[in-house]
């Protein structure tokens, strides 16, 4: 079935991949994006008009949101301020953007609820806080340890609460560490794979917080897009699902993998500093989404990092990590 989909944050990393996939599947797509300078080099619409209608605006602006929702039957809400460390001192910005933006979007959805048939909201593994040592299922208690994680929990809970109350099928997808082409190389608060690649391309060893044995579930952006597509199509009750691979990889393993791929021969090791809000383990149990939506991860990390590295080599990157680390230290967020 062809849909008319609004993608908030649709010009961002995940959004750009999703928009292309939706267009190829025959859907009409409208993008709303504020083009935050920390993520985007320019505010130029990045899609040809035949691929997507692109509206430059803020999800916190009710009139802009109402305009974006005209004639739309599905919404994918990706728009958010991203980053654990930065959220711990830009508290108002993160809560205004993530919680306030979600509230404004939902007020618009409710005003258009006769047309809106499905809402998919991007949640995050960060809402669990510390995960189980092996795999973390959706039944794990939500104990967020950063302001960013708190706001992602709020985005999810606002969406599921209103979806159930008004009978609008709503799916919250808890993304685990997403990586892939188009991920910002200049943003020191983005995904760790892109941050490490940015440092390595500049001849610097990756900055590894803690002891490096923290484990994560690195998920290629194409698998995230797969999950969103399945959620848009599925006839399922409002619920939350993990989206990952179920494969455990340590931060130190990731750093060594990327160093080998980039022929970096310098020493690599942990900095010994611990960043406030960080967790030790969180790897996804994907049993629920596999059974309910038919999701199957297709891209292993060893294969997927090649996509990111090939793209990164063509871009050039500014290593902004040292400045970000200094900022955290100045604010007392490093131990």
Query: Does residue 148 have an active-site annotation?
Result: yes
Contacts of 41 (CB under 8 A, 6+ apart): 186
CB-based contact 174:243 (threshold 8 Å): yes
Give the distance, in angstroms, between the CA of residue 99 and the centroid of all CA atoms in the same chain.
15
Out of 148, 179, 241, 295, pick the active-site residue: 148
CB-based contact 97:105 (threshold 8 Å): no
DSSP H or E stretch at residue 242? strand 239-243
| Sign of the torsion angle spanned by Cα atoms 274, 268, 131, 188 | positive
Residue 83, token pair as written in the block: 């980053």
CB-based contact 312:185 (threshold 8 Å): yes
* 277 phi-psi bin (left φ>0, alpha ψ -120 to 50, beta other): left
DSSP sequence for 292-309: HH-------HHHHHHHHH
Among the listed residues 155, 152, 211, the one whose alpha carbon sits nearest the alpha carbon of residue 176:
152
Q: Which residues lie across from 249 on neighbouring strands?
A: 216
- Rounded Cα gap, residues 23 and 300, in angstroms: 25
Catalytic residues: 148
């Amino acid at each position: 079935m062809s849909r008319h989909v609004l993608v908030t944050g649709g010009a961002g990393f995940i959004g750009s991949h999703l928009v292309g996939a939706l267009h190829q599947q025959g859907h009409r797509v409208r993008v709303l994006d504020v083009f935050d300078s920390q993520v985007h080099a320019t505010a130029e619409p990045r899609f040809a008009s035949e691929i997507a209608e692109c509206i430059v605006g803020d999800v916190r602006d009710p009139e802009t949101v109402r305009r974006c929702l005209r004639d739309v039957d599905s919404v994918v809400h990706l728009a958010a301020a991203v980053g654990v460390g930065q959220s711990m001192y830009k508290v108002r910005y993160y809560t205004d953007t993530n919680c306030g933006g979600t509230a404004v979007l939902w007020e618009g959805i409710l005003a258009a609820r006769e047309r809106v048939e499905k809402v998919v909201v991007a949640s995050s593994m960060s809402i669990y806080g510390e995960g189980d040592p092996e795999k973390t299922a959706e039944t794990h208690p939500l104990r967020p340890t950063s302001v960013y994680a708190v706001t992602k929990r709020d985005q999810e809970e606002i969406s599921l609460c209103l979806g159930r109350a008004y009978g609008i099928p709503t799916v919250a997808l808890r993304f685990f560490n997403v990586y892939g082409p188009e991920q910002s190389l200049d943003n020191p608060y983005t995904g760790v794979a892109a941050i490490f690649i940015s440092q390595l391309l500049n001849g610097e060893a990756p900055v590894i917080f803690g002891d490096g044995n923290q484990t994560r579930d690195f998920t290629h952006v194409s698998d995230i897009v797969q999950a969103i597509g399945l959620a848009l199509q599925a006839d399922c009750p409002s619920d939350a699902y993990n989206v990952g691979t179920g494969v455990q990889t340590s931060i130190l393993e990731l750093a060594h993998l990327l160093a080998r791929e980039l022929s970096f021969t310098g020493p690599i090791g942990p900095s010994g500093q611990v960043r406030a809000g960080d967790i030790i383990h969180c790897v996804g149990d994907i049993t629920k989404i596999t059974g309910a939506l038919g999701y199957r991860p297709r891209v292993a990390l060893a294969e997927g990092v090649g996509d990111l590295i090939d793209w990164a080599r063509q871009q050039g990157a500014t290593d902004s990590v040292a400045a970000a680390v200094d900022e955290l230290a100045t604010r007392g967020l490093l131990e």
